[in-house]
Amino acid sequence: MSPSAQARTDLPTEAMGFHTTHWTVVLAAQAGKDTAGAEALASLCSTYWYPLYAFVRRSGYNCHDAEDLTQGFFYSFLRRKSLTQVSPLAGKFRSYLLTCLKHFLANERRRAQTQRRGAGVREISFDAEEAETRYLAEPADNVTPDVLFERRWAFTVIDRVLENLRQEYAQRDKAALFDDLRTLLPGDAANISHAELAARHGMSVGALDVALHRFRQRFGALLHEQVVRTVSSPDEVEQELRYLVSVLGS
């Protein structure tokens, strides 16, 4: 699925809780052992495990080496002190994370060996079998590792947004309605008419249209919130949203 991201870009950043974003919490806590900062960092990293794994695989490593390297990178990243050198103007978290991974891989190549780190310790949930299955399902193209990372990042953001939205609908016993409204997002090929969906849920076509409008609004708001988590300046939010849309549309 590659829906066009219909974000409500007119929403004030403050209304989306910008000052408590994960990336800004990490930056604020970088000099100490702040629990909130550590939890925020782990949460951010968990979003990127597959895009980073795909980057390593596309860089020429086999599945076993890619698993070791991705785990080793996260172990190193979550424990090292280099975050103390990050400027409050660090920018997008994904860009910083990818740069760190490239440095890590360069160091590993210089050592000419791959080794698993942190025996028995895994801060980031990582299903290696699932990761490899997803990687093998990637389109057979010749995109660069960087392009693949950006593509996987965009789809990961959308997947997170949809999962959060699904949970909201499930809490209101409307999981079935969510499943149908999701097919009406741009980029999905709905094989059923609005009239048929309305009848399925015992509502009028007008009521379904209202439900769809609210669904898209909420999707946009959650997308905005997800993007806000990963930038360090309000000025970057709209630019990041536009970039995400361009990646999905490519």
Please list the rounded mean pLDDT of every run of 10 residues in the chain (250 residues): 40 39 64 65 77 91 89 80 59 81 87 49 58 70 84 90 96 95 79 90 95 95 87 80 87
Domain that holds residue 60: 13-249
pLDDT for the residue 126: 61
* Overall pTM surpassing 0.75 (yes/no): no
Residue 82 lies in a domain: yes
| Six token digits for residue 21 | 């974003």
Query: In this structure, are residues 151 and 143 in contact, taking their beta carbons and an 8 Å threshold?
Result: yes
What is the amino acid identity at position 3? P
pLDDT for the residue 25: 66
Please give the tally of structural domains in the chain: 1
Query: In this structure, are residues 6 and 238 in contact, taking their beta carbons and an 8 Å threshold?
Result: no
Residue 153 lies in a domain: yes
pLDDT for the residue 173: 95
pLDDT for the residue 14: 39
Residue 1 CB partners (closer than 8 Å, separation 6+): 158, 185, 187, 188
pLDDT for the residue 79: 74
Kindly tell me the sign of the dihedral angle through the C-alpha atoms of 37, 42, 47, 53.
Answer: positive
For 112, list phi and psi in degrees, rounded to 5. Answer: 60, 35
